[in-house]
Structure 1
Amino acid sequence: MKVRHFISLLDITGYEFRKLISRAIELKKHRDRNYYPFKGKVLAMIFEKSSTRTRVSFEAGMAQFGGSSMFLSPRDTQLGRGEPIEDSAKVISSMVDCVMLRTHSHEMVATFALNSRVPVINGLTDEQHPCQLLADMQTYFEKRGDIKGKTVAWIGDGNNMCHSYIHAAMLLDFHLHIACPDGYRPNQAIVEAAGDHVKFFAAPIEAARNADLLVTDVWASMGQEEEQKLRELAFKNYQITAEVMRAARPDALFMHCLPAHRGEEVAAEVIDGPQSVVFEEAENRLHAQKALLEFLIPGK
């Protein structure tokens, strides 16, 4: 049987995306204490970038399914001493049942997958963050139903989260309005592939008009701290404020992958307000990834 990987949302179909959301909601509502499909199975987690939600959700998910997980960093392995990715992939995948990587280079994850005999999951790269979109879309479906035909406003950096929102718009058939400063737009090839699912706006309030969901991310992502001051100037007018939220539909939701910087990309009254679902969104990382692990790991 061909090994399935989850390097990008585009590794699954729209139908499979909706099935994963449905299964995640089911797992969240009905946790069977006698259901241990991964007894004896091991997930290797390679972290080049630090994490809270990614590590806790994958470890907890494997434990709840009766399996185990191991945390690996470049400091703990030969990856940190220059061993080729291809060699590490062949060795590690011969001993575990699945591998999750959270790292800078998207190419590193793709190369690892090409040389792995077991499923490989992209826990985050500088280019994409597909696991977060599983949780975000689960949260929307729980709160408002299917997102097909709806409008999502992305305000801020055209980063890995923005790229995965573009992919989600393609798969789930929603409209994505993007407002970001010049010089910080998403990858043009990714935008072009999405066709008319994506539209750009000059100002956040224009992108947010009649939107069903508003989303943002930090101005400076991990590894960009040296750009903080420059980015503060570039993004100062790209905050989701109460005024921006009022431009959206009255029942619009606010999401953020966290951690958030109140007073920068989002006003405290928004992220802590009644339209914010950021903590349910964060919890859903657990349920969505359990559904993903079920989907990918054979021999359940």
Structure 2
Amino acid sequence: MRTSRRRKLQEEKIVASKAIIERGEPAIPIQKDDDVLAAAARLAGEDLCSISDLSSAEVRAILKLGHDVKRNPHEYRHALDAKQMVLMFEKASLRTRLAFETGINTMGGNAIFVDQTSSPLGEREAIADIARNVERWVDVIVLRTYAHDTITEMAANSRVPVINALSDFEHPCQALADLMTLEEHFGSAAGLNFTYVGDGNNVCHSLMLAGAQLGTNVTVATPRGYSPDIEIVTKAREIAEANGCEVRLLQDPQSAVEGSDAVYTDVCVSMGMEHESTKRAPIFRPFQVNEALMAKAGERAVFMHCLPARRNAEVTDSVLDGPQSIVFDQAENRMHA
């Protein structure tokens, strides 16, 4: 029964996408770029559960659109008139919530926030039933959850698009904002040497995939036993090969950052894993991003962090607040990407 419904929903999404192309109505009518219009038509009605849901051309188009929205916000003030977006968050949020709410409000739409921190999705009511209700009221569902399966199950049962605003496996919107920020600072992400230092977590997964999509050389340095998921690594390497770049896994942060254009880190204890704090602290201490590590990368290198940061844990104050830090540019671009 569920398989039949999933097939029907997917067919409806494809029909909706084709209808937009036939009517010549791009998702953002005032954006004239042919590549962006083509991507908008292809992505109309589609979910974003993972960066791997997007092609390289679609990632580039999304970022191109994000840059234009940031430069010319007045041109998009009616782009989402009367559109309704619901944010259903199991985890606390500052940047993600405000970026989505401010973004849609600025474009003429409306955001509805549902706090799920005390009542995880699927606990009180089946996720499929939630999807069938919510799809009657809104145009898009944005989820921030503990389990990635919650997002994929919602997407499988919803007639409206579902967007992953963070799960335990990926953080695609963060990665898009990060790549947009790299493009702002370097002109292009293609050919850059990008190094992630720390836990091979959800943010790391999305960055590997997104970087590979744009032709960025990605190096990941993690402690033994904390490497990124092998399926993500395999997928990222396949994408990288097609785009003329590489994905490397190392366990030495010192050698990993040499020659890097960007050094990125995240907390070593993600939300929901607080019980591992004492165990992880000494393991990740050698992976702290400090002035000495940034010196290995060079003066040109920028420092990045998805925030919130645990100051003087995974990164020192001097780096986070220093001249190489672009963390608040990343935060701002969460709204535009």
Same fold (TM over 0.5): yes
Partner of 2:10: none
Name the aligned partner's letter for residue 282 of structure 2: L
Partner of 1:220: 269
Name the aligned partner's letter for residue 206 of structure 1: S
Partner of 2:236: 194
C-alpha displacement of 1:252: 1.0
Q: Which moved more, 1:136-145 or 1:79-88?
A: 79-88
Instruction: Please report the TM-score for the alignment, with normalisation by the length of structure 1.
Output: 0.92
Q: Deviations over 1:77-136 (max 9, x none)?
A: 794643111111111012100000000111110110111111110000000000001111
Q: For the residues of structure 2 that align with 1:75 and 1:226, how far apart are their CA atoms?
A: 18
Greater Cα radius of gyration, structure 1 or 2: 2
Decide whether aligned partners of structure 1 residues 204 and 39 sit closer, same or farther in structure 2, where only a CA change above 3 A counts. same
Asked if the contact 1:133–1:165 (Cα under 8 Å) also holds between the matched residues in 2, the reply is yes
Highest RCO, 1 vs 2 (Cα 8 Å, sep ≥ 6): 1
Asked if the contact 1:74–1:80 (Cα under 8 Å) also holds between the matched residues in 2, the reply is no
> Which of 289, 313, 319 lines up with 1:270 in the alignment?
319
1:206 and 2:255 are equivalent in the alignment = yes
Asked if the contact 1:253–1:277 (Cα under 8 Å) also holds between the matched residues in 2, the reply is yes
Q: For the residues of structure 2 that align with 1:76 and 1:249, how far apart are their CA atoms?
A: 45
Partner of 1:151: 193
SS in 1 for 2:73: coil
Partner of 1:98: 140
Q: Which moved more, 1:248-257 or 1:278-287?
A: 248-257
Partner of 1:284: 333
Name the aligned partner's letter for residue 222 of structure 1: M
- Counterparts of 1:1-300 in structure 2, within 5 Å, are 1-2=16-17, 3-32=45-74, 35-74=77-116, 79=121, 81-195=123-237, 197-288=246-337
C-alpha displacement of 1:70: 0.7
Decide whether aligned partners of structure 1 residues 55 and 216 sit closer, same or farther in structure 2, where only a CA change above 3 A counts. same
C-alpha displacement of 1:75: 6.6
Instruction: Please report the TM-score for the alignment, with normalisation by the length of structure 2.
Output: 0.82
Q: For the residues of structure 2 that align with 1:77 and 1:200, how far apart are their CA atoms?
A: 38
**Structure 1 stretches lacking a partner, 5+ long:** 289-300
**Structure 2 stretches lacking a partner, 5+ long:** 1-15, 18-44
Asked if the contact 2:179–2:211 (Cα under 8 Å) also holds between the matched residues in 1, the reply is no
SS in 2 for 1:215: strand
Name the aligned partner's letter for residue 24 of structure 1: G
